Chain A
């Protein structure tokens, strides 16, 4: 796939260290012995600085669970001085104190700070069957906490079945309204056959399919992910040896990339992007 321009830099700040262990996790994150270690703050700052100089539009922090990183708050402040910044979180660690700190950070920043809280199913039982007992309650509480302070979180839901349910967006929106969130924001992501969901998709993008697609439809034409071990093609495949880009700097990696992972087929089919909008 041809590279167009760097719109988004993803920073997999905690590697695959997470306090939850969801059954569909794209990078098989969990609390014990993460297969991909966290990124040190110095390396993260170096990549963010380079991305800003290259004209990046947005910085995203992901993991694992980013709020498990000891330097997450100063790193967010550092990123926000350079570009709009988003954190993808499960919400479980967003206490009142953390919510206050995030609101203060957002208010002082030149650019938008976005918090994306993962909650996959508007039904509590079904959500917790995927994300673990209590995950629904804690995610919803984080959303309400942030919302009450005027920082409007984006509920991010991953499709839990290969065939997406038609009214999920409306049901998630209704859940937020019912919880008192007056400006509901919802982001849907497809299920990617990678990590713990490996094998839940079939086939790859063929040469003919690739020739027929507008590069703008595939997020790898405008995105890169920094994680332990280097720069990777996109946030979905971040950390996988086969998705690692050659090069000493971020600029070196802004070159055409392979799209032969089964997850690439999902991007090709859906045109989905992990970015906020």
Chain B
């Protein structure tokens, strides 16, 4: 996997992950970002997923100049793997994961698969004076979940040491969180814009990060409302599993719950 480094320092960036073929949420996110005076926009990967019409997100990303890295889903689709690499053990989860992956793989244009294949695995940049590492799952593994309740400070410190960074940004799990260590370094899971975060509300979240040179980091999670009913109708029309559309309509995760730690699982409906 390659790492791409940004030559100049930024003051404010917008970062999101997990588009999951949700072009409606992506358009709404980019519209919100345009009002925020950011220096650059980053996507931490997983462009395809449970949503309809996977090709629709690529022109939006390219036109807005979004700088992306590769998620596990992008890697799988780009290379034509037999599954998305999520590694579920529940046969019910595997059933749903297979359906959406096969749908996405079959409907992603070759040029978009090539575009994903060329994405870097990591990016490095400076935000204010802070060296930052951008990754998909964790710095060490594209499919590692970093949940708030199962990521100890000692591991965060280890990641930051190994990356020689003051800030790590990741996604993949689907729920946003921010950890500031006692020594002032940060890890931020920026969440995903492709589906709600299992709290019973239908909106999604992206992250604004601001750091003046020499100043501390400001992290703001920004809520985004979008036409989720339209998305759900398109999913129904495409014959995608009704369980996926239910999540879009209700804000509660209905499948692939086995990867959630106990604490995060107890906060959802299922």
Contacts and interface: CB of A to CB of B under 8 A. Distances in A.
Q: How large is the interface on B (under 10, 10 to 19, 20 to 34, 35 or more residues)?
A: 20 to 34
B262 A112 contact: yes
A154 B266 CA distance: 12
Contacts of A83: 152, 154-155
22 contacts: A54-B154, A55-B157, A56-B154, A57-B150, A57-B151, A82-B152, A83-B152, A84-B150, A84-B261, A112-B150, A112-B261, A112-B263, A112-B264, A114-B261, A152-B262, A152-B265, A169-B91, A185-B262, A185-B265, A187-B89, A277-B145, A277-B259
Contacts of A186: 90, 258
Contacts of A113: 262
Interface of A: 5, 52-58, 82-84, 106, 111-114, 150-152, 154, 167, 169-170, 173, 182-183, 185-188, 216, 276-277
Contact of A56 (B89, B140, B155, B266): B155
Contacts of B150: 57-58, 84, 111-112
B154 A277 contact: no
Interface in B234-270: 257-259, 261-266, 268, 270
A151 B262 contact: yes
Contacts of A169: 89-91
Contacts, number: 76
A108 to B, nearest CB: 12
Nearest to A187: B89
Contacts of B56: none
Nearest to A114: B262
Nearest to A51: B154
B262 A57 contact: no
A277 B258 contact: yes
Contacts of A52: 152, 154
A123 to B, nearest CB: 19
- Most A CB contacts (10 A, CB to CB) among B140, B149, B265 go to B149
B141 interface: yes
